[in-house]
Structure 1
């Protein structure tokens, strides 16, 4: 769907006499504005959640590219973020995964992007959501003590980038811990945010009593972190998670320790610090329920 452009009605000029001669190759027409290059592109199909599909509906909204990687391009449209992912990328909940993917887009940070009328348009590539995927968590962890023991059997998860007292507070569901973790640490998504995301999704599965208060505080402080990280935290608050974390939670719910060990290896391999952060957040949420950690007011 082309972006809307204003036009003025013109009167046709008188037809010129036809003069025959050798054929000439005319130069290709150049775009007249930064968005007109989208008008002739054929849509590429992609897979995404209902949340992302719904973000593409409505009138045209313009934004810009905020990150470019080998397998992912992220665009900011107003205060929201959408990823254009290659088939090699982990399918984060805010992304559209395509066969063409990020490498085909050949974009730079700052390039124009747009959503609207069911499409994402970025750097000459037009993408539509042709297939819906489920990235929410349909399982419940009924036996928190067993799940806690299974996670401990995998060995410790350590980090020196985050304050220990904040991690202890998050285990108990203390909303005051959020301020010490949000936006803190290394990685494309800060490590502290990855811990919070893993905690949020797992807390929902295990029935952590501090879930609502922690999620509420994250909503209040979300502007402290990056646009991408805030979007992923928004997804986590609603129970959406990338597939590697979903596989860990499925193994925990099933009580399958062998499957859990394989799933944890897969989760640890995600990103530079993201997998480790998600796993740590998962462990803290389970530990809070299993050990009966007191929820701070």
Structure 2
């Protein structure tokens, strides 16, 4: 099998898009990425044949391990998510079309959602995972290549381009807009809200206080990945990948809080974030911030992901950057 580095430009994507299908996926809480409109050749899939995909190394143990029974968590045109029981507890794996966000728990197909490569199956339907394959309905997916969802950065504590950080903040908050005015749908705003508490923790460089805000953010907001969870995933992954000394403790605290407080999908993504495994879109922004890739299009793509997911993740990353900067600054 080939190994595809997560920095590969095209990811084997077909640049087609269907607004109706993408809208359905976004309303279901599945992050999707807008693609240019082009004519698509649908192409038929023969039932029972194995469909190749690029699989995240974050799910390699599950995919290569013993065959386990699974069930469908959600099925939409852009993604099918399966939940599977493991000795460590429940886990989630996704089969994603090429125009869905490149999540660290996914097998990414080489076709977009408007080509209808995914089967429509009801929640709770049986599936199987393991032995190198994933089967749901008449769809069997196997890994033709692997990609690493942990971005390769120059050092364990990389230096970020100051102009790049300013560019990210400007795109997220808006030019001349105070950070205190930033709001996310589904999250309480104002001086007593959790985002204000998070900003206060950052000003004091207080990681413990930032972690305490997790009790207010976990599971907060609508969708399969609530906005509060997306913020925390961005903070957690940012601290891990930028080398904050308290990153492991913060990640363990967040993942511990997630049990029983949020969705299965979101809990799994938080666990991946604690290991530094992120979406391809988040990884592209981090690489741009260290000068390894074009930053402006990476930011635009991340912010356009899902209804709130991309902006929430970017807010989390900005929070992590501030915490790392204030921790390392001489006092």
Normalised-by-shorter TM-score class: 0.7 to 0.9
Pair 1:142-2:159 in alignment: yes
CA contact (8 A) 1:166 1:180 kept: no
**TM-aligned CA distance change 1:42 to 1:183, over 3 Å:** same
Q: What's 1:31 paired with?
A: none
Task: Indicate how the Cα distance of structure 1 residues 155 and 74 shifts in structure 2: closer, same or farther if over 3 A, else same.
Answer: closer
Question: Residues 81-135 of structure 1, C-alpha deviation per residue, up to 9 Å, x if partnerless?
Answer: 0001112212100010123677431212121111121211111111111210122
1:268 has 2:279 as partner: no
1:161-213 deviation digits (Å, cap 9, x = unpaired): 15234423664422222211111112320101111111122212322233122
Three-state SS of the structure 2 residue aligned to 1:290 is helix
Cα-to-partner distance string for 1:231-271 (whole Å, 9 max, x where unaligned): 11111111111111111111111188xx3332211111101
Tell me the equivalent position of 1:288: 323
> What's the TM-score once normalised by structure 1's chain length?
0.77
8 A Cα contact 1:148 1:287, kept in partner: no
1:117 is matched with which residue: 131, 134, 147?
131
Structure 1 residue 84 corresponds to structure 2 residue 95:
yes
- Match runs of 1:199-210 below 5 Å: 199-210=235-246
**Structure (1 or 2) with the larger CA radius of gyration:** 1
The answer as to whether partners of 2:72 and 2:123 remain within 8 angstroms in 1 is: yes
Instruction: Tell me, yes or no, if structure 1 residue 238 matches structure 2 residue 275.
Output: yes
Aligned residues: 253
Q: Aligned to 2:83, what secondary structure does the other structure show?
A: strand
| Structure 2 residue runs without a partner (length 5+) | 1-46, 174-178, 189-193
1:55-94 map, 5 Å: 55-78=62-85, 79-94=90-105
Helix, strand or coil at the partner of 2:300:
helix
Q: 204-213 or 131-140, which moves further after superposition?
A: 204-213
1:173 aligns with 2:173: no
Alpha carbons 1:121, 1:127 under 8 Å: kept: yes
Q: 1:278 aligns with which of 287, 309, 313?
A: 313
Match of 1:249 among 278, 286, 290: 286
Distance 1:45 1:143, change over 3 A: closer
* C-alpha distance in 2 between matches for 1:170 and 1:278: 18
RMSD of Structure 2 on Structure 1 (CA): 2.5
Q: Distance in 1 between matches of 2:266 and 2:231?
A: 11
